[in-house]
Structure 1
């Protein structure tokens, strides 16, 4: 067997840590999964427990009953621990960025994996992973806090990054720029004056501040008001699947990647 490509992560994980991303994948990209002849989803680097892979499988089966999910880990001990949870449509394998699966995946989820790599390596592995996707496939790569209450992820096709999504529980931040510590590796060191991501987070904080009066009706209403204020100057999608009240009410905001791409 070829040696897996990559390095072992800390493996920190937990139930519902990736619920926000799963919810977004199921709502936004269910048509992609349902339209594929044999939809295969890879959960890359699921960690010391298979909990988040099991949750992904359950959530995606609700919107795409024919989906197959494969959890991939570079640590053989973690794979052995996950094997008892296998069932029809769900399996676990030893591997890394080479993605040892039988056919190109329709979707790859990789969370809290690239954080330990250098920025140049993160860009390179984006290319490696998207190059292994099925035609029309998607890579969802991101970072979440350990309790899952703050997360940022990027949606990528073989042509490159397409979207970036910011998601948080309403009691998990003081201002939107608190999500900066969850930025993907390709952006986290770019949050400095002169870069688009810094300008966006600064403007989001301003929108949050001027929407403070709405907090009398709850933080959800303040978030909705801030997003609408922000959409005057930033290309916030106004309607589904990426935008609109149904997504914003969940504490989400998705932008085109081009709006925050490094200068």
Structure 2
């Protein structure tokens, strides 16, 4: 079968996806523990296999027999990763078709920094293809982060479609929440303009952040928590709670940020 997709830049760094991994382990841990086949896919892991190695370690804290398969479209990257393969960790060549031995269906597909170079109009078909590969109760996590993982935004999708959008950051490096706009995933990044829901959300977040500035003396974490509480009070459908907010995260229902009618996403 021909690999579906194009070769990415391949940029990767150790611990780059730590925020996404921790969120997955915390919020998808129940499904992972219940899964008959606790298999996860690191799609488009890049020029080095660090993110796949780290994903396995983090998932095994939740499910000791979890497995990870790194999938890369570039055969040279697969060859370079093979020396790192071990029990529970493998690497194969492939793309959005997610070729797995024996027709296995993963309980998790993580696709980080993969769709940045694609057109916005390509996103729905890619999402649909990946969601179709999930096992029952499975999760697709697709998003973008900076080079060292300080700022990250991702969409979580089940077999039925998009569920939530999560914004995660190192709070000590943040001037205002809208700084995360440059890391919006492809489905949203071109929609950060007046009249679009994601722009309205980030504008409201900046406003709440400014209003919480007196709490800066107590630290950026307390200011972030107060700003998220204000967003929820305004009616934004925040789906998580203070335990995640303290990590510099906030998760919002997809429907509240869904692009306007002009988008095919």
**TM-score normalised to structure 1 length:** 0.96
Q: Does 1:250 align with 2:250?
A: no
Give how far 1:13 is off: 0.5
Q: Does 1:147 align with 2:144?
A: no
Runs of 4+ aligned residues of structure 1 deviating over 3 Å after TM superposition are 234-237
**SS at 1:97 equivalent:** coil
- Counterpart residue number, 1:163: 164
Contact 2:37–2:106 (8 Å) recurs in 1: no
**SS at 2:155 equivalent:** strand
- Counterpart residue number, 2:205: 204
**SS at 2:2 equivalent:** coil
Deviation string for 1:88-116 (max 9, x for gaps)? 11100010001011311111000000010
- Counterpart residue number, 2:91: 92
- Counterpart residue number, 1:262: 259
Give how far 1:72 is off: 0.4
Looking at structure 1, the residues matched to 65 and 57 of structure 2 have their Cα atoms a distance apart, in angstroms, of: 12
Q: Indicate the RMSD between aligned Cα atoms, in angstroms.
A: 0.9
Looking at structure 1, the residues matched to 231 and 125 of structure 2 have their Cα atoms a distance apart, in angstroms, of: 32
Looking at structure 2, the residues matched to 244 and 187 of structure 1 have their Cα atoms a distance apart, in angstroms, of: 24
- Counterpart residue number, 2:20: 21
- Counterpart residue number, 2:223: 222
Looking at structure 1, the residues matched to 41 and 235 of structure 2 have their Cα atoms a distance apart, in angstroms, of: 33
Looking at structure 2, the residues matched to 150 and 161 of structure 1 have their Cα atoms a distance apart, in angstroms, of: 21
Looking at structure 2, the residues matched to 219 and 261 of structure 1 have their Cα atoms a distance apart, in angstroms, of: 28
**SS at 2:195 equivalent:** coil
Contact 2:12–2:47 (8 Å) recurs in 1: yes
Give how far 1:122 is off: 1.5
Looking at structure 1, the residues matched to 162 and 45 of structure 2 have their Cα atoms a distance apart, in angstroms, of: 22
**SS at 1:27 equivalent:** helix
Contact 2:41–2:70 (8 Å) recurs in 1: yes
Give how far 1:233 is off: 1.4
Written as runs of structure 1 = structure 2, the 5 A alignment for 1:1-263 is 2-102=1-101, 103-237=104-238, 242-263=239-260
**SS at 1:22 equivalent:** helix
**SS at 2:149 equivalent:** coil
Looking at structure 2, the residues matched to 14 and 195 of structure 1 have their Cα atoms a distance apart, in angstroms, of: 33
Looking at structure 2, the residues matched to 93 and 64 of structure 1 have their Cα atoms a distance apart, in angstroms, of: 23
Contact 1:236–1:243 (8 Å) recurs in 2: no
Give how far 1:150 is off: 0.0
Looking at structure 2, the residues matched to 231 and 7 of structure 1 have their Cα atoms a distance apart, in angstroms, of: 40
